Amino acid sequence: MPQLALWLSDIVAVSVLVFALYFPRHRRRDLVVAFLGVNIGVLAVASSLTAAGGSATGLGLGMALFGVLSIIRLRSTELDQHEVAYYFSALALGILGAWQTDQEWRSAALMAVILAVLFVGDHPRLLRQHRRQVIVLDQAIPDHAALVAHLEQVLGNRVHSVSVQRLDLVNDTTVVDVRYRSAPGASPRPPAQPRVEAAPHSPAAVQP
């Protein structure tokens, strides 16, 4: 009966993780199935291996963890860092739900801690002014100081970090990964265009 209570706690916890935290914030439907499948799969495998007892328990849990990490590493689509965090959380919830212990309250408390950390760490209001963008500039700027100044002019905000991903002197482009702080009410400003002075009009010669 205590083990059944842990299984139910895991199902409730992963439902909160997926349907109350992840999907309302990120709206990626394909990962909903992935998180649920990882959690329930690890719960089923780890529960079976834990029930067998002996040294096979630690080996089985290690193999389950290795399998999930291999899936993440050999993924067909790229995952952001926050999505990897949700993957690990779904994995951890499954292992906690499958672990046979005399102190079920500890596993339930650790599940609550995982959900609380994700609620706070992935909250939209946490560090919401700090942004990251990959920008393609229509000119090659090899000088770092000039690059930062140009980006601050384009973004209209203070730039904290710039990483040049590609500098193409032939096609005159620069690809940068920029991290900046968006000030309230600030809007991007277009770079200043060079002024072209019109040549003075000279009167046409009068033909006799």
DSSP code at position 161:
E
Assign 128 to helix, strand or coil: coil
User: What's residue 2's pLDDT?
Assistant: 74
Q: Where are the beta strands (DSSP E) in the chain?
A: 130-137, 158-168, 173-181
| Residue 34: predicted pLDDT | 87
pLDDT given at position 46: 79
Looking at residue 84, its pLDDT comes to 85
CB 174 within 8 A of CB 139: yes
In angstroms, the CA 161 to CA 177 distance is: 8
Mean pLDDT, contiguous 10-residue spans, the chain (208 residues) = 83 95 91 90 80 58 64 64 87 84 84 95 81 88 91 87 90 91 62 44 47
CA atoms of 39 and 13, how far apart (whole Å): 10
- Is-above-0.85 flag for pTM? no
- Give the pLDDT score at 189: 54
In sequence order, the 6+-apart residues with CB closer than 8 A to the CB of 114 are 13, 17, 89, 92, 93
